[in-house]
């Protein structure tokens, strides 16, 4: 039984690594979706800010237009009263007031024009931003759909690997399995390690030569005396050949 059991543990570890890898990839998907939406979020914030700036400019323009109306009304009143002016001095004072108010109107009207130009500029910027937002929205939607599809495929693969694991576990000796699980949880997920050149590949410490002989012969299941991982002999020539093949020699 021992020989076969060690192979099962190696297979189990391979499945566990695949499962963990798939879980990590799947957990990454929501973050990737969020990251994919950042550009769009930024663009929408920019659009909102432009809208607010536009509204501000519009408000200022209306205020200036009211100012113009107000000063015009004052000017009208003064001009109506011009017939009541008796002296040159009064006339000069009135003319000075009229000039002053006309200057004010001129300045306000200049401001109105400048604000209208500014509003036009903002409108153009908003149009560009709206176009950008629309294309970013489309881009994000297709990226999100692709990522969700990917997550679904990862989920299916994960379910398959978990099923494989469940049926494999049924074939592993129960005590051995418990022991494997203990080592896995103690050793950061890696419960089985190869011995290469007399070194445990899990903890990189030397394995006693006598144990190496036993591991090689597969007479018993041996645990590393340093890290407690289950040890197997990595037959170098075979391993090298596997590594040379595409898809071969993948991580155990
Ligand atoms: Zn070790």
d(CA 229, CA 203): 9
* CA 246 / ligand 1 centre spacing (Å): 29
Domain of 31: which CATH number?
1.10.287.1490
Given this model, what pLDDT does residue 249 score? Answer: 42
Residue 11 belongs to some domain of the structure? no
> Tell me: the pLDDT tens digits for 25-68?
999 999 999 999 999 999 999 999 999 999 999 999 999 999 99
* CA 180 / ligand 1 centre spacing (Å): 14
Strands 199-200 and 230-233: unpaired
Residue 250 belongs to some domain of the structure? no
Mean pLDDT of 156-173: 97
- The long-range contacts involving 83-87, CB below 8 angstroms and separated by at least 24 positions, are none
Mean pLDDT of 1-19: 87
Instruction: Tell me: pLDDT of 183 over 50.
Output: yes
Mean pLDDT of 245-250: 44
The DSSP-derived string for 41-99 is: HHHHHHHHHHHHHHHHHHHHHHHHHHHHHHHHHHHHHHHHGGGG--SHHHHHHHHHHHH
Instruction: Tell me: pLDDT of 116 over 90.
Output: yes
> Tell me: the pLDDT tens digits for 138-151?
999 999 999 999 99
Query: How many domains, in total, are found in the chain?
Result: 2
Residue 141 belongs to some domain of the structure? yes
Residue 7 belongs to some domain of the structure? no
Return the minimum-mean-pLDDT range out of 146-155, 185-194, 232-241: 232-241
250 within 8 A of 244, measured Cβ to Cβ = no
Which tokens belong to 102?
């006309």
Integer angstrom CA distances of residue 84 from 2, 73, 93: 124, 18, 13
Q: Based on the domain organization, do 103 and 143 belong to the same domain?
A: yes
* CA 230 / ligand 1 centre spacing (Å): 8
- Percent of the chain predicted with pLDDT > 70: 92
d(CA 84, CA 90): 10
* CA 229 / ligand 1 centre spacing (Å): 6
Q: Based on the domain organization, do 121 and 29 belong to the same domain?
A: yes
* CA 192 / ligand 1 centre spacing (Å): 9
d(CA 157, CA 19): 9
Which of 1, 11, 20, 9 has the alpha carbon at shortest distance from 157?
A: 20
φ, ψ at 172 (rounded to 5°):
-90, 135
Q: Based on the domain organization, do 147 and 190 belong to the same domain?
A: no
193 within 8 A of 203, measured Cβ to Cβ = yes
Domain that holds residue 78: 18-171
* CA 227 / ligand 1 centre spacing (Å): 4
- The burial of 150, by beta-carbon neighbours within 10 Å (0-12 exposed, 13-18 middle, 19 or more buried), is given as middle
Mean pLDDT of 161-165: 98
Given this model, what pLDDT does residue 236 score? Answer: 54
Residue 22 belongs to some domain of the structure? yes
């Amino acid at each position: 039984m021992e020989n076969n059991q060690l192979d099962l543990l190696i297979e189990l570890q391979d499945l566990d690594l695949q499962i963990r890898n798939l879980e990590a990839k799947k957990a990454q998907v929501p973050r990737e979706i969020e990251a994919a939406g950042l550009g769009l979020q930024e663009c929408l914030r920019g659009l909102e800010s432009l809208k607010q700036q536009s509204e501000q400019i519009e408000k200022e323009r209306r205020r200036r237009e009211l100012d113009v109306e107000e000063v015009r009304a004052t000017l009208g009143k003064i001009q109506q009263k011009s017939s009541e002016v008796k002296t040159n001095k009064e006339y000069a004072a009135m003319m000075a007031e009229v000039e002053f108010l006309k200057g004010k109107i001129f300045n306000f009207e200049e401001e109105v024009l400048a604000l209208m130009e500014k509003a036009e500029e903002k409108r153009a910027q908003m149009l560009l931003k709206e176009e950008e937002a629309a294309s970013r929205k489309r881009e994000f939607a297709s990226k999100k759909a692709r990522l969700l599809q990917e997550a679904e495929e990862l989920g299916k693969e994960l379910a398959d690997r978990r099923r494989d694991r469940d049926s494999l576990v049924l074939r592993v000796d129960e005590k051995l399995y418990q022991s494997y699980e203990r080592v896995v949880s103690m050793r950061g997920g890696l419960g089985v390690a190869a011995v290469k050149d007399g070194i445990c590949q899990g903890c990189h410490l030397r394995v006693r030569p006598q144990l190496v002989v036993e591991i090689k012969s597969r007479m018993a299941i041996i645990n590393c005396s340093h890290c407690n991982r289950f040890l197997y002999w990595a037959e170098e020539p075979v391993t090298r050949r596997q590594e040379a093949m595409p898809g071969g020699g993948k991580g155990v």
